[in-house]
Amino acid sequence: MLTEMGRMARDAFRQMANAGTRSKNRALQALAALLDQAQPDILEANKADIQAGRDSGMSDALIDRLTLTETRLKGMSADLRRLVELPDPVGERFDETVLPNGLKLWRQRVPLGVMAVIYESRPNVTIDVSGLAIKTGNAAILRGGKETIHSNRILVELVQKALEQSRLPANAVQFMDNPDRALVMELLRLHQYVDIIIPRGGEGLHRFCRENGQIPVITGGIGICHIFVDESADLQKALRVMHNAKTQRPSVCNALDTVLVHRTIAAEALPRIVRYLSPAGVSFRADESAMPFLVQDKNENTPFSVPVTPAGPDDFDTEWMSLVLGLKVVDGIDEAIAHTNAHSMGHSDSILTENAANAARWINEVDSAAVYVNASTRFTDGGQFGLGAEVAISTQRLHARGPMGLRELTTYKWVAEGNYHIRE
């Protein structure tokens, strides 16, 4: 059954790959309209998921993730209409050249192929991924969680209706209606039909896809993010950046996890960091290198002393996803870079400094998808980077790194035009 789905996805891909920008945009418009019209039915289906979740004792947080509302649905159709406005990367030529023998040669952007997306809970991902696939001329096989099966069924029905209305193949977006986990294993091995696996979930899901699959996996979305406060940093401005990186949205992958402070400014900086961030609810895990600077203040009964506890052995390898912040003192740029490369997941890491040489070393030597100088790590995001849309944030090295927008859902072919050219 899954093989048949793969075969149909591949056939649909061939048609999608050659669809014009106008007809792909028409499908996006049609889908946005259908979403608006079908609101009552979608909310009805979503209620069934919510009820099933409640019956099975799902937490309020999880219930919230799978809940659709009028506002959320409106946001989804607005996103689709924004996608219409974005330039279509397919067909773009680059590296155009004429070889010495007169052969005209260029690379031309083409859709990536069939992508399989494995996700949970949030039904908006269904529309999100469908929209991105349509815009880029790819085909998608969606495997949502069983907790949103009613919502996803109706949403995919609308997607397929929109495709048909625009004379595009309905099978360009298919949904694995059967929540059997064994089918996920089968999907991961369908390499003759599927070109890329995009897991949207935690580290366990990513590992599962990599270990059991025969198809390249875009791993990412997990970040242990660092800010190194160099001795030359403007401390007042640095405090604002750390506050932003830690507290603006603590539950996301580009939120700050660890602050490294240069030893020469540790005595001043560490107490100020604790004082500045603790009113926002931040608590601290201090390395033994940092404790002396904080304990000293503690004896003086300063108000920040309460939320500082000694860091445990795994604390600097933990993505906090909450208002916890690691603190560590380093001897300088060398140790800061070494610590970051050893503990970062290669997502987003920033240096705050006035020293150009150290900034350059940070840029070149920190091996992460996004490296920052004097900026919050929170910018690592397709929207913030001006990509307009984002399918994932990759922390692996092949194909695409960091925020993946429309262009990153394409590949290229070489095109050569000659006059009956032969190789000498």
In the complex, the residues that contact its own copies under the rule CB under 8 A are: 14, 17-18, 91, 97, 99, 103, 105, 108, 110, 112-113, 191, 195-196, 210-211, 214, 216, 234, 237-238, 240-241, 243-245, 248, 341, 352, 359, 363-365, 367-376, 378-380, 384-386, 396-399, 401-403, 411-423
**Closest CB 299 distance from its own copies, rounded Å:** 32
32/400 with CB nearer its own copies: 400
150/243 with CB nearer its own copies: 243
DSSP string of 179-223, one letter each residue = --HHHHHHHHT-TTT--EEEEES-HHHHHHHHHH-SS-B--B---
**Closest CB 244 distance from its own copies, rounded Å:** 4
CA distance 203 to 222: 7
Q: Which residues pair with 98 in a beta bridge?
A: 104
For the chain, the first-to-last Cα distance in angstroms comes to: 50
149/352 with CB nearer its own copies: 352
181/191 with CB nearer its own copies: 191
H helices present in 166-194, as ranges: 181-188
228/372 with CB nearer its own copies: 372
The type of residue at 304 is F
Q: Are the beta carbons of 377 and 245 closer than 8 angstroms?
A: yes
**Closest CB 395 distance from its own copies, rounded Å:** 11
181/237 with CB nearer its own copies: 237
**Closest CB 156 distance from its own copies, rounded Å:** 25
CA distance 120 to 385: 26
**Closest CB 361 distance from its own copies, rounded Å:** 9
**Closest CB 215 distance from its own copies, rounded Å:** 9
- Specify the residue for token string 């659709």: 68
Q: Is the dihedral of CA 307, 309, 311, 312 positive or negative?
A: negative
Please name the residues in contact with 244: beta carbons below 8 A apart, sequence gap of 6 or more.
376, 378
